Amino acid sequence: MFGKFGIDTGKRLIGICPGAEFGPAKRWPENHYADVATKLIEAGNQICLFGGPKDTSVTQSIVDLIPEDLQRNCFDLAGKTSLIDAVDMLAACHTVFTNDSGLMHVAASVGANIVAIYGSSSPQYTPPLTDKVQVVNTDIECRPCFKRECPFGHLKCLKDLAPQTVLNLYQHPSQSVQPDNQ
């Protein structure tokens, strides 16, 4: 399955699940994901972007924002895998960076380290059921609002969450991942 997409099974695999079927108020910006992906690729990792057919514009935007010479280590799998293949591939990922989404819960169920990014929702209500998780969100006054779209039109709960803040939660293989009780 990995060979079909040109993925080198000898290199560390990092997953990114940038979609959120619920709505844009749960989706961290593409440019932020691209910044994280770029830094991880520069550190020698491969990136797999996961999602369904509706996520292809989001994943393609991320690929387009990654420097061209690094794009060969970023694999856009949105809409290109069956759910069973996506489950197997998520299980092979060292870490998965993800919005609060269905794929976040799939990645948690297969034992991947999770960096869970929350915008309008809350880990108090929809946590990934694993102890291998780092949860990150802003402490902006209007969140969690549980809305599909930002009622104020600014999406600050997501936009103000800096890529470096999220990347700082990435655990190298020699480190253990501990839950963040935010």
pLDDT at 13: 95
pLDDT in tens, 10-62: 899 999 999 877 666 678 999 999 999 999 999 999 999 999 999 999 999 99
Q: Which of 16, 43, 29, 171 is nearest to 97 (CA)?
A: 16
Q: How confident is the model at residue 77 (pLDDT cuts 50, 70, 90)?
A: very high
Give the integer Cα–Cα distance in Å for 127 and 121: 10
The more confident residue out of 157 and 67 is 67
pLDDT for 142: 80
Check whether 112 has a pLDDT greater than 90: yes
Residue 178 clears pLDDT 70, i.e. is over it: no
- Tell me the longest C-alpha to C-alpha distance in the chain: 46
Q: What's the half-sphere exposure (Cβ side, CA atoms, 13 Å) at 22?
A: 20
Task: Tell me the pLDDT band of 76, cut-offs 50, 70 and 90.
Answer: very high
Distance CA 80, CA 86 (A): 9
Q: What is the mean pLDDT of residues 139-168?
A: 83
* Predicted confidence band of residue 140 (pLDDT cuts 50, 70, 90): confident
Instruction: Considering only residues 140 and 92, tell me which one the structure prediction assigns the higher pLDDT.
Output: 92
d(CA 39, CA 174): 19
Residue 111 has what pLDDT?
Answer: 92
Query: What pLDDT, on the 0 to 100 scale, is given for residue 71?
Result: 98
Least confident piece of the model among 37-46, 89-98, 158-167: 158-167
- The pTM (predicted TM-score) of the whole model is 0.89
- Between residues 20 and 109, the one the model is more confident about: 109
Structural tokens at position 178: 């501990």
Is the model's pLDDT at 174 over the cut of 50? no
Position 171 scores a pLDDT of 67
The CATH topology of domain 12-167 is: Rossmann fold (3.40.50)
DSSP output for the chain: -TGGGT--TTS-EEEEE---TT-GGG---HHHHHHHHHHHHHTT-EEEE---GGGHHHHHHHHHHS-GGGGGGEEE-TTTS-HHHHHHHHHH-SEEEEESSHHHHHHHHTT-EEEEE-SSS-TTTS--SSSSEEEE----TT-----SS-TTS--HHHHTS-HHHHHTTPPPTTS-------
